[in-house]
Chain A
Amino acid sequence: SQTIHQWPATLVQPVGSPLSLECTVEGTSNPNLYWYRQAAGRGLQLLFYSVGIGQISSEVPQNLSASRPQDRQFILSSKKLLLSDSGFYLCAWSVPGNYEQYFGPGTRLTVT
């Protein structure tokens, strides 16, 4: 069966520090991969998606970037965090061509 992992589960970082969040998927090949952010009291906002290694599409211009160095690995990064980057970050995967997305456990990021 397929599983999706995210780490770390929680993170507290000062303003101006770098960020790296990692997501890996097991049990499937060539998945579509997605990064979402949920701000407090808000819905899920799609940040980036990828349909293959090295292929990244950005949905919202911002202080973040994403990379997909391996088929089942998706990384969210920032060179310098802002206070507004605080939130709950979720990684998801889907079978190409299917609409259903399956989410990881999330990372709670607090920028202080």
Chain B
Amino acid sequence: DQQVKQNSPSLSVQEGRISILNCDYTNSMFDYFLWYKKYPAEGPTFLISISSIKDKNEDGRFTVFLNKSAKHLSLHIVPSQPGDSAVYFCAASARSGAQKLVFGQGTRLTINP
């Protein structure tokens, strides 16, 4: 049972344009959502997060949108830069003793010059 899904395995975007990565979830108990960026052979690095009491959170070029009724979140990167090429994972957590994260399968983003 995949509780967090990233249905696009890959995405290609031209440099300078907007990249939009999508994520869907099924567990209505999730109350916190995160995006991670991962380069090959490295650990993921935390990018941005959002609480379920908000519908938008912005940090520089990165904005995360949350639509609770649709159980959908998205990450917008604008403008996209070559260094943004990586695999992006969304993750979700329900209120629990250890703040466990459930990850999606990842989307490989390629920024073309």
Binding site for B on A (CB under 8 A): 32, 34, 36, 41-46, 49, 51, 57, 59, 88, 90, 92, 94, 96-106, 108
Contact in complex: B46, A44 (CB < 8 Å): no
Contact in complex: B98, A49 (CB < 8 Å): yes
Closest residue of chain A to B5, judged by CB? A43
Closest residue of chain A to B51, judged by CB? A99
Q: At the interface, yes or no: B99 with Cβ under 8 Å from chain A?
A: yes
Interface size on B, residues (CB 8 A): 25
What are 24 A-B contacts defined by CB distance under 8 Å?
A: A34-B100, A41-B105, A43-B4, A43-B104, A43-B105, A44-B89, A44-B103, A45-B103, A46-B100, A46-B101, A57-B98, A92-B43, A94-B99, A96-B99, A97-B99, A98-B99, A99-B49, A99-B101, A100-B34, A101-B46, A104-B43, A105-B42, A106-B42, A108-B41
Q: At the interface, yes or no: B83 with Cβ under 8 Å from chain A?
A: no
Given A42-B105, A44-B89; A102-B99 close (CB under 8 Å): no
Given A42-B105, A44-B89, output 12 extra A-B contacts at Cβ < 8 Å: A43-B6, A46-B102, A49-B98, A57-B98, A88-B41, A97-B99, A99-B32, A99-B101, A100-B34, A103-B36, A103-B44, A103-B45
- How many A-B pairs fall under 8 Å by CB? 61
Given A99-B93, A100-B49; A106-B98 close (CB under 8 Å): no
Q: Whole-angstrom distance from the CB of A46 to the nearest CB of chain B?
A: 6
Q: Which of B26-41 contact A (CB under 8 A)?
A: 32, 34, 36, 41
